[in-house]
Amino acid sequence: MSHDSHAHSAPHEKHSIRGYMIIYFALLVGTVFTVWASFIDLGHHWNIVLALVIACVKAFLVIGYFMHLISEKKLIYTVLSFTAFFFTGLMFLTIFSMHHFPLNTVTH
Amino acid sequence: MEIPFTSQPRQDTGLYNAKLGIWLFLASEVMLFGALFSSYILLRVGAPAGTWPHGWLDVRLGTVNTLVLITSSITTVLAWVSLKDRNFGKFKLFHAITLICALMFVGIKSFEYRDKFLHYEVKLKDGRIADGHMMENNAKEDFIVIHGRYVQAHMELMKHAHADELKEEKILRENIVSMQNYGPWHNTYTAIYFTLTGLHALHVIGGALVIGYLWLLGGKMWKSDPERFTNRIEVSGLFWHFVDLVWIFLFPVLYLL
């Protein structure tokens, strides 16, 4: 790349760095919030829901902005749509089978 | 013969080879960790009431490791941005920080593992259980010393002990029925904990080796083919972000819930 293109790209990169730093601080705040929320008794299920919601938001920030998935090419979306389908299927199978254990193996 | 699309993207897909390759690899990684998370859920839900431990891991260390990994993620991005900006010096600086963060993460994780391997549950002939960190265990002596507490039932160990409950206890070997440390073999929780975090740690080490290689020996390619080198940094960065991503879920699931 020439020095000209460097000069053209500089303002864009500066803007990007600011955006990345905002995401970084959001991730730090999200981590502190996760820890803080875990010490508040919301009822066991709601504590789990809140922790996973925060984790999902943080994951979206990492995937979307650090991994640039929000501006990725169509082929990547196609590949990941298969992953999302099978991953979601796996999690639904897990949830569906969660309380189905053979008799006399679990004493809830 | 020169391999096409190593630097410039294909016109039809808009992607260079390595980028498509790493996303295909990450797609398979999602399913690998997904299967293990699924196992974790089933093991936890299937555990008899009161037998799933709480507070066995140090939240402070887990939090620090999370912050370290997030910091390594931003420095990875900034290293790539530096190359886009044609600033190799800054790239070296940011990726050096990434490597330091990776070493810190593995160091803290090793400390946590060591803590578990030194922690023993000792069953005594009188029915009680002594639980704590092994201080002395010399085969030539007829006693061991642990820093911990006595409990009457195994279930009492599922709750984390307060520091003021712990003290040094000398136990004669003739009074011991069995003893076992908190390694992966200890119970279902430690098994899934070591499996999940161990596999993740292997990813951290693998990623650090690649980043270290590019940091140390990358200068040569930077001079000959800067576009291709920048792509390599992007690809290694995508893997590193995935490692961060997995930890974002591991931390609350294992340490907090």
Which chain A residue's Cα is nearest to B40?
A94
pLDDT at A63: 96
Q: At what angle do helices B226-251 and B59-84 cross, to 10 degrees?
A: 160
Residue A44 CB neighbours (<10 A) = 9
pTM of the prediction? 0.91
What pairing do the DSSP bridges indicate for beta strands B176-181 and B119-124?
Answer: antiparallel
CA of A64: which chain B residue's CA is closest?
B241
What letter represents residue B77's amino acid?
V
**Tell me: the pLDDT tens digits for A41-99?**
988 789 999 999 999 999 999 999 999 999 999 999 999 999 999 999 999 998 888 77
Residues in B 49-108 with any Cβ partner in A closer than 8 A: 49, 59, 63, 66-67, 70-71, 73-74, 76-78, 81, 84-86
Q: Which residues of A are less than 8 Å from B50 in CB distance?
A: none
Residue A103 phi/psi, 5° resolution?
A: -60, 145
Q: Is the CB of B14 inside 8 Å of chain A's CB atoms?
A: yes
Q: Are strands B176-181 and B129-136 parallel, antiparallel or unpaired?
A: unpaired
Interface of B with A in 192-221 (CB under 8 A): none
Structure tokens at B3: 């391999």
Residues of A in contact with B16 (CB under 8 A): none
Distance spanning both ends of chain B, measured CA to CA: 55
- Per residue in A3-47, pLDDT (tens digit) is 434 444 444 555 589 999 999 999 999 999 999 999 999 887 899
Tokens coding B138: 């010399």
Q: For residue B93, give the 3-state DSSP assignment.
A: helix
Q: How many beta carbons lie within 10 A of that of residue B213, not counting itself?
A: 12
Tokens, residue B177: 């029925």
pLDDT for the residue numbered B8: 86
> For residue A88, what are its two tokens?
């979601």
What pLDDT score was predicted for residue B4?
85
**Residue in B45, B90, B228, B233 to test binding to A, most A beta-carbons within 10 Å:** B45
Beta partners for residue B129, in sequence order: B123, B151
Would you call A20 an interface residue with chain B, using a CB distance cutoff of 8 Å? yes
Is B249–A82 a contact, with Cβ atoms under 8 angstroms apart? no
| Residue B163 predicted with pLDDT over 90 | no
Q: CA-CA distance, B98 to B77, in Å (whole number)? A: 10
**Residue B169: C-alpha distances to residues A89, B143, B154, B234 (Å):** 51, 10, 18, 54
Beta bridge pairs of residue B1: none
Query: CB of A80 within 8 Å of any CB in chain B?
Result: yes
Distance CA B11, CA B210 (A): 29
DSSP 8-class letter at A62: I
- Separation of alpha carbons A6 and B86, rounded Å: 7
Asked whether residue B9 carries a pLDDT value surpassing 70, the answer given is: yes
Say what the pLDDT of residue B14 is: 86
Residues A37, A34: Cα–Cα separation, whole Å: 5
Please list every residue in chain A whose beta carbon sits closer than 8 Å to the beta carbon of residue B256: 34-35, 38, 51
The first and second tokens of residue A57, run together, are 């938001």
Mutate to test the interface with A, among B28, B51, B66 (most CBs of A within 10 A): B66
